[in-house]
Homo-oligomer: A and B are copies of this chain.
Amino acid sequence: MDKKPTLFTCLSPALLHLFDLHNAVVVIIDVFRATTTIATALYNGAARVIPVAEVEECKRLGNVISGSITAGERDGKVIEGLQYGNSPTEYPREFIENKTLVLTTTNGTKLLHMAFAKGCSEVITGAFANLSSVCDYLVSQEKNVILGCSGWKDKFNLEDTLFAGAVIDKVKEQFVIHDDSSLMAREIFRQQRNDLYSFIQHTTHWHRLAAYGLHKDLEYCVSTDVANVLPIYRNGELVVA
Alpha-carbon separation in the docked complex, A154 to B183 (Å): 17
Give min CB distance, A166 to chain B, whole Å: 15
A214 contacts chain B at the CB level, 8 A cutoff:
no
A161 contacts chain B at the CB level, 8 A cutoff:
yes
Report the copy number of this chain in the oligomer.
2
Give min CB distance, A6 to chain B, whole Å: 12
Give min CB distance, A111 to chain B, whole Å: 15
Tell me the residues in window 198-221 of chain A with beta carbons closer than 8 Å to chain B beta carbons: 202-205, 207
Known: A11-B11, A12-B15, A15-B15. A184 touches B158 (CB 8 A): yes
Where chain A touches its partner, the secondary structure class is helix
* Contact residues on A (Cβ < 8 Å of other chain), bracket: 20 to 34
Q: Are A155 and B184 in contact (CB under 8 A)?
A: no
- A187 / chain B contacts, CB cutoff of 8 Å: 188, 191-192
Q: Are A181 and B155 in contact (CB under 8 A)?
A: yes
Q: Are A14 and B14 in contact (CB under 8 A)?
A: yes
Q: Are A180 and B203 in contact (CB under 8 A)?
A: yes
Q: Pick the residue among B18, B157, B203, B204 that contacts A155 (CB under 8 A).
A: B18
A153 contacts chain B at the CB level, 8 A cutoff:
yes
Known: A11-B11, A14-B15, A15-B12. A183 touches B203 (CB 8 A): yes
Q: Are B178 and A156 in contact (CB under 8 A)?
A: no
- A180 / chain B contacts, CB cutoff of 8 Å: 155-158, 161, 203-205
Alpha-carbon separation in the docked complex, A204 to B18 (Å): 15
Alpha-carbon separation in the docked complex, A18 to B157 (Å): 13
Alpha-carbon separation in the docked complex, A191 to B179 (Å): 19
Interface residues of chain A, those whose CB is within 8 Å of chain B, are 11-12, 14-15, 18, 153-158, 161, 178-181, 183-184, 187-188, 191-192, 202-205, 207
